[in-house]
Amino acid sequence: MSGSWWFRFAVVVLSLLGSAWVLAPNFITTPEGQEPTGVAALLPNTALNKGLDIVGGLDITLQVGVDEAVLSSVGRDVQTVRDAAEREGIVLTSARKARGEALLELQIGPETTIEALRAFLSARFPGYSYVGSIEGETGEWHRFEPTDQERTEISQRAVEQAVETLRSRIDATGVKEPNIVRKGADQINIQLPGEVDPDVARQLIGTTAVLEFYLVDEEFQMAALDQALVAAKAALPEAEYNDDRTLNEWLIENGRVPGDNRVMWEYETTAGVKARTTPYVLKDRVILTGDDVNDAATSMDQYNQPETILEFKPGGAVIFGDVTGENIGKRFAIVLDGEVRSAPVIRDRIAGGRASISMGSGNIDLAMADARMLAMVLRTGALPAPLNIAEERTVGPQLGADAIVAAINATLIGSALVVLYMFIRYRVSGLVANICLSLNVLTGLAALGLLGATLTLPGICGIALTVGMAVDANIIIYERIREELAIGKQITAALVSGYDNAFSAVIDSNLTTAIAGVVLYSYGTGPIKGFAVTLLIGIASTLFTAIFVSRTLMDLAVRRVSARALL
């Protein structure tokens, strides 16, 4: 045996041992919660990931409502534009988002020209472009819409933020080893292994709570407010009076309430009907929002009612401390989804950055559930856009367990038949091919473990298919050697030219199969992706075993057995 042969042989043995080492964690397992001891502690962290179709679980694809994200982004920009305009001397008499459309609608005072407005927007809000002006009841509205680039950015941010939010929400539910990934431009795929209640999905995507803190304008007289509301009730149709937006517009336009104020209500639900109770005149500037909340939890207040306790982020806590310090004796209002939840009097500077929201009296279970939901939403942040379930697949653990047994049996029997056939047809060479086949499957599985790829049910089928196709490379070579023998070559020479001549066929046939595998990988989802992975890995391990390993072993065999026995 030449030195190069020994070297090749060493590579073969090392790949065998390496694969065994990588695969060992699948057999030597440590019970959950215990520290691995002995051999187990030395093993690499390369146990095979089993797909949801094997362990059972929930696979959901969520569609992110990116259009809605753009809408709400425009809605948020209304206030920002208003503030910036004030600083830059642009007089905006009114600013709003068009109903149901991603359009910013602005009205300007006589001091400001449309050119100045456009210049201001293109300088400070380059994400908007001017689309034209329309006549409204209260004058001309100048309309601006987000540019395509801006829309794309908003959508992307929305999807990324949704992924993060979902991740924290899932962590909060305690599901182990979740897998959350973006899929395409506007979808998110979530995989939750194990026995998962499908309703979890609905909990995850539910509720976008909008929490805002305002200061109450204590200078505004309650009597004046009462008069203003009486006048508004008389002047406005009932529907418009009941709508906070139209009511506020009327109050401001008619000089009943200053332009930088806003009236909001506390509500009460009796017998399922919710009605306004106390009105508040608030300074129309949001002090803090739900985004400033760091952590939230539920507890009981002094009246034994559920409440949500929140803790601000450091930045928010500073603002909260400053604002409360400057406004001792006044009230601040906690507004959730447009309703005043409570308006406590500021007794002292609140430095700790904590606040609580009472859930009110009534059904205590419902209130508790509300408090919990609010705490979760505040803790994890609101979803930037509504999510809808586009695809949902549940596999019960029993189905997966039955299926994997069937799949493994099928693989074993299929492989056994192939091994038998190869031995009958090619004798000693067939034996070599079978050794290669075993090493092929072993290195293939080890590669799966090393890459952290997921083994799915079709993936196991892919392994079986690899077994069937891997011997193809051996068959091509053996048939070629037989041909070379048939034209009168000596066995050693036939071996050399057989391998050489078959090389291009083996490479080309495997690379073209890989083309299909790569497309399959990018097309498929979940289980099918798993199949593509095992197919591709199988091709790589086949090239290694059929060309390198089998050649090494054949070089050995050719010296030990006669040509007749060899092939």
Q: Segment 43-72, which members bind other proteins (CB under 8 A)?
A: 53, 61, 63, 65, 68, 71-72
Under 8 Å between Cβ of 482 and 556 = no
Q: Which stretch binds other proteins (CB under 8 A): 139-147, 218-226, 300-308, 497-505?
A: 497-505
> Which sign, positive or negative, has the C-alpha torsion 332, 336, 337, 341?
negative
293-352 residues near other proteins, rule: CB under 8 A: 336-339
Options 399, 431, 435, 556; binder of other proteins; rule CB under 8 A: 399
Q: Give min distance, CB of 554 to other proteins, in A.
A: 17
Nearer to other proteins, 212 or 346 (CB): 212
Q: What x/- string results for residues 526 through 555 when contact with other proteins is judged by CB under 8 A?
A: -xx--xx--x--------------------
Give the integer Cα–Cα distance in Å for 108 and 526.
Answer: 54
> What's the count of helices (H) and strands (E) in the chain, helices before strands?
18, 19
Options 34, 37, 302, 522; binder of other proteins; rule CB under 8 A: 522
256-295 residues near other proteins, rule: CB under 8 A: 267, 269, 271-274, 276
Q: Give min distance, CB of 101 to other proteins, in A.
A: 10
Amino acid letter for position 108: I
- Is residue 507 involved in binding other proteins (CB under 8 A)? yes
Residue of 70, 74, 127, 120 lying closest to 97 (CA atoms): 74
- Is residue 564 involved in binding other proteins (CB under 8 A)? no
Nearer to other proteins, 134 or 275 (CB): 275
Q: Give min distance, CB of 262 to other proteins, in A.
A: 14
Nearer to other proteins, 425 or 427 (CB): 425
Give the integer Cα–Cα distance in Å for 539 and 536.
Answer: 5
SS3 assignment, position 386: coil
Nearer to other proteins, 218 or 392 (CB): 392
Q: Give min distance, CB of 72 to other proteins, in A.
A: 6
Q: Give min distance, CB of 422 to other proteins, in A.
A: 7
> Which sign, positive or negative, has the C-alpha torsion 247, 249, 250, 254?
positive
Q: Give min distance, CB of 480 to other proteins, in A.
A: 8
Options 107, 208, 308, 434; binder of other proteins; rule CB under 8 A: 208
Q: Which two tokens stand for residue 523?
A: 């097309």
Where does 174-260 have alpha helices with state H? 199-205, 222-235, 238-242, 244-253
Q: Give min distance, CB of 401 to other proteins, in A.
A: 11
Residue 280, sorted as left (phi over 0), alpha (psi -120 to 50) or beta, turns out to be beta
467-496 residues near other proteins, rule: CB under 8 A: 467-469, 471-472, 475-476, 479, 482-483, 486-489, 496
Nearer to other proteins, 99 or 560 (CB): 99
CA end-to-end span of the chain, whole Å? Answer: 21
Q: What x/- string results for residues 433 through 462 when contact with other proteins is judged by CB under 8 A?
A: ------------------------xx--x-
Backbone φ and ψ of 300, nearest 5°: -110, 140
Options 239, 304, 329, 348; binder of other proteins; rule CB under 8 A: 239
Q: Which stretch binds other proteins (CB under 8 A): 147-155, 215-223, 343-351, 498-506?
A: 498-506
Options 9, 200, 513, 561; binder of other proteins; rule CB under 8 A: 513
Q: How far are the Cα atoms of 182, 293, 344, 373, 472 from residue 62, in angstroms, in the given order?
A: 10, 26, 40, 20, 42
- Across 175-209, b (16+ Cβ under 10 Å) vs e yields beebebeebeebbbbbbbbeebeeebbeebbeebb
Q: Which stretch binds other proteins (CB under 8 A): 151-159, 226-234, 325-333, 363-371?
A: 363-371
Nearer to other proteins, 93 or 509 (CB): 509
Q: Give min distance, CB of 132 to other proteins, in A.
A: 23
Give the integer Cα–Cα distance in Å for 498 and 284.
Answer: 86
Q: Give min distance, CB of 60 to other proteins, in A.
A: 9
Three-state SS for 466-512 is: HHHHHHHHHHHHHHHHHHHHHCCCCHHHHHHHHHHHHHHHHHHHHHH
- Is residue 504 involved in binding other proteins (CB under 8 A)? yes
Q: What x/- string results for residues 138 through 177 when contact with other proteins is judged by CB under 8 A?
A: ----------------------------------------
Q: Give min distance, CB of 335 to other proteins, in A.
A: 11
Number of shown-chain residues binding other proteins (CB under 8 A): 113
Give the integer Cα–Cα distance in Å for 265 and 243.
Answer: 11
Q: Give min distance, CB of 382 to other proteins, in A.
A: 10
Q: How far are the Cα atoms of 6, 340, 433, 494 from residue 555, in angstroms, in the given order?
A: 11, 85, 13, 12
* Pair type for strands 306-312 and 354-358: antiparallel
Residue with tokens 């459309």: 101
Under 8 Å between Cβ of 98 and 105 = yes
Q: What x/- string results for residues 404 through 433 when contact with other proteins is judged by CB under 8 A?
A: --xx-xxx-xxx-xx--xx--x--------
SS3 assignment, position 4: helix
71-130 residues near other proteins, rule: CB under 8 A: 71-72, 75, 99-100
Q: Give min distance, CB of 31 to other proteins, in A.
A: 28
> Which sign, positive or negative, has the C-alpha torsion 85, 87, 88, 90?
positive
Q: Give min distance, CB of 69 to other proteins, in A.
A: 9
Options 396, 451, 490, 565; binder of other proteins; rule CB under 8 A: 396
